[in-house]
């Protein structure tokens, strides 16, 4: 049985999430409390989430938290990169400290992503490990239910 979360579906379904507190007007929003609004979106891609942020970000004279915002003149979408940005990038894959705990299906999905990254001009270095990884993460729990 796959683990699903009502509160964090983006985690279990690998969806980009754009949910920042105090980025947009809260008019017509039923807040959890005065400082925990729930404006945001789940998106298929980071690009979609960025367009959502451009749509909701802004000042609202009825909401003091938003008055200090200073949005980029042309919005946040102007900062999105294409796969050309990966040319010359270098990524390390910590197999022993992290990916060894993934299932065969998850490892296959990772390899597909690695091939996409390589095809965009990046270099992949296998065997890079995280020092003291056991004190940083609990690897067996990281992949629970992500099939």
pLDDT in tens, 90-113: 998 887 777 777 788 888 988 898
Looking at residue 96, what is its pLDDT?
A: 77
Listed residue (92, 100, 99) closest to 125, CA to CA: 92
Written as one string, the DSSP assignment of 24-85 is S--TT---SSTT-----EE-SSHHHHHHHHHHH-S-BTTBGGGTT----TT-SGGG---GGG
Identify any residues that bridge with 93 across adjacent strands, giving them in sequence order.
Answer: 126
Classify residue 24 as exposed, middle or buried by CB count within 10 Å of its CB (0-12, 13-18, 19+): buried
The tens digit of pLDDT for each residue in 116-139 reads 999 999 999 987 887 777 676 665
Number of neighbouring beta carbons within 10 Å of residue 50: 19
Decide: pTM greater than 0.85: no
The answer to whether the CB of 135 falls within 8 A of the CB of 102 is no
Q: Which residues lie across from 18 on neighbouring strands?
A: 41
């Amino acid at each position: 049985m796959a683990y699903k979360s009502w509160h964090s579906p983006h985690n279990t379904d690998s969806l980009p999430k754009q949910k920042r507190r105090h980025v947009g007007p809260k008019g017509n929003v039923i807040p959890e409390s005065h400082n925990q609004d729930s404006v945001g979106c789940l998106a298929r891609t980071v690009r979609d989430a960025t367009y959502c942020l451009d749509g909701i970000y802004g000042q609202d004279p009825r909401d003091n938290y938003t008055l200090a915002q200073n949005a980029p003149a042309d919005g946040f979408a102007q900062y999105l990169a294409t796969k050309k940005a990966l040319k010359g990038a270098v990524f390390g894959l910590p197999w022993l400290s992290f990916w060894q705990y993934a299932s065969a299906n998850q490892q296959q999905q990772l390899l597909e992503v690695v091939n996409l990254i390589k095809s965009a001009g990046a270099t992949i270095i296998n065997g890079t490990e995280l020092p003291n990884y056991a004190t940083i993460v609990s690897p067996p729990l990281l992949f629970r239910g992500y099939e």
